[in-house]
Amino acid sequence: MNTIRIAILFAVLSGLAIGAAGATPSLIPKPMKVTAGEGTFQITPETNVLYAAGLADAADYLAGRLSLAFGKPVAARPARGTTVPSGAVLLTAAGADAKLGAEGYSLTVSKNGVSICAAKAPGAFYGAITLLQLAPPAAFRAPAMVEGVLGGKQTVKPPRPCDEPNIAGAKPVGSLAVPCATVVDKPRFQWRGLLIDPARHFWTIDELKQYVDYMAIHKLNSLQIHLTDHQNWCAEIMKYPALTPEKRLNEADPDRVARQTYHKLARHYYTQKELKSLVAFAAKRFVNIVPEFEMPGHSGAFLRGCPQCGCTVGGKQMRGGEVCPGKEKTYQVLQGMLDEMLEVFPSRYIHIGADECGKRNWRKCTDCQKRMRAEGLKDVTQLHGYFVGRMSKYLQGKGRTLVGWDEILESGAKAGAIGMYWRSGRSDNIVKKASANGQYLVMTPTAHCYFDYWQSPDKKSEPQGFGRSVITMKKAYELEPLPDYIKKTNPKLVLGAQANLWGERMKSFPHILYQTYPRACALSEVAWSPPEGRNYAEFHARLLLHLKRLDAAGINYRQPTDIDKPK
């Protein structure tokens, strides 16, 4: 039996892999450096959680988690000094290593207290997450989201096992024993993301908040929300009220709303007040909300609300899912919509999609042909590039950065914008050429990062995935976001990695969690941890304990099977 398998066996038998001096903590994602100590520190409801100026959000989150674990309130209070009082947990910036960056931290657990030292608030938050992971799984005790209500009750029998919420069975504990250790850590990439798609199947704002909370446990920091597509427009726009979906869904198909999920929802769009509350909730967990408003393609819902932005041929309005990039009216309406949304979403990054744009109408449209002649554009691909460039310039003028799928690079690199590589194999040359011209990228390839795909070849035992492809947890873990051709030139061009969960097949919130976890655990490690020494077998061993944390937190997930075992 080799060393790796011995380590796995030890982890399984002990159920911990954290208690003994010298043992590697079962932390996910794996930190940069861990040094185990002797003994433990006991966190109790009486433990003081203290914080320095600027670190209140991290301390409040930690105290809130401890309150749930104990079933008793634990308060965070401002610290009076920079040294750890006996029996306390201190979050401080004093003595922080600037080389660890804004998201890095050092964590020291001794028998007498805990110090979380970070130069910036995000680092203090991630240090608090690591502290909670060092503790027993009960540290993540929380109610499950049931039918859109946190801690709610089932009123409808879920139709499939994947739709069953993971109702947390963890009971309050009197104390949490944390092994003494020192952790020095920082992320490999700044963009560590997931995408969720309420345009296809709608999730309530409270469900989105819980999705954010579950991301934070894994040090994921970017949630892209696909708010618009052919099927639905999910964001309230005061200037264009015709975009709100019920005005068309109920008139066209009164039963469609009831079919969206297995339990009925009142409506299928978010008010601006709700979206602002989500942004604020996420900010306290250092998760950035990246809204996606599809343009110029995937715009069926937009055109139903604003038909004047579609193409015309011989004075006749054309059918299709692409806006008209020839009409000046199109830019006026889209920019007016964006102006409202920029007040809701403070994110530097605004995603416009720009993928899978048919362009068929553009070849015939009077306004498109006129625009191409005026701008000296050779074909509709360049017209697509003109549209993207113009929207990018508009967003830059507002202090924002445009993000789009890799189709934005078909007409060349887009300075000041970010491309998302998704078409594994098909767009490799496009992305390679764009990177040679200094294009910033986020890696989210279909080969590793499409979590709406099947999780196992055993399709009889799995809920239906999208398409025919299979992405196992091991496949997700094998992603290397930094290609050799970029590593050799400018590795800073790759901002990070993201997994996408398109919503066509996911009809309940527990189902989307089932598709997310534990594959998102693998993604978090790929995006956070150093690549040196990465080993799936060792990760799998740590995951066995981590699943108990998911149970305590009320997170539904797919139980690993033989396909997920290290070979």
Q: How far apart are CA 473 and CA 518, in angstroms?
A: 7
pLDDT at 256 over 90: no
Instruction: Read off the pTM.
Output: 0.94
The pLDDT tens digits of the residues spanning 474-503 come to 999 999 999 999 999 999 999 999 999 999
Mean pLDDT over residues 276-299, rounded?
A: 98
CB 455 within 8 A of CB 462: yes
Q: How far apart are CA 265 and CA 267, in angstroms?
A: 6
> What fold, for 3-185?
Chitobiase; domain 2 (3.30.379)
Is 3.10.20.30 the CATH number for 191-564? Answer: no
Confidence of residue 446 (pLDDT cuts 50, 70, 90): very high
CB atoms within 10 A of CB 264: 12
Helix (H, G, I), strand (E, B) or coil at 43: strand
pLDDT at 266 over 50: yes
Report in angstroms the alpha-carbon separations of 329 from 8, 128, 138, 361: 62, 50, 56, 17
Residues acting as catalytic residues: 229, 298, 356
Q: How far apart are CA 23 and CA 78, in angstroms?
A: 34
Classify residue 444 by its DSSP letter: -
The pLDDT tens digits of the residues spanning 81-140 come to 999 999 999 999 999 999 999 999 999 999 999 999 999 999 999 999 999 999 999 999
Structural domain boundaries of the chain? 3-185, 191-564
In angstroms and rounded to an integer, the radius of gyration of the C-alpha atoms of the chain is: 24
Q: HSE, CB side, 13 Å, CA atoms: give it for residue 252.
A: 11
The pLDDT tens digits of the residues spanning 43-71 come to 999 999 999 999 999 999 999 999 999 99
How much is the pLDDT for 5? 40
Q: How far apart are CA 231 and CA 113, in angstroms?
A: 53
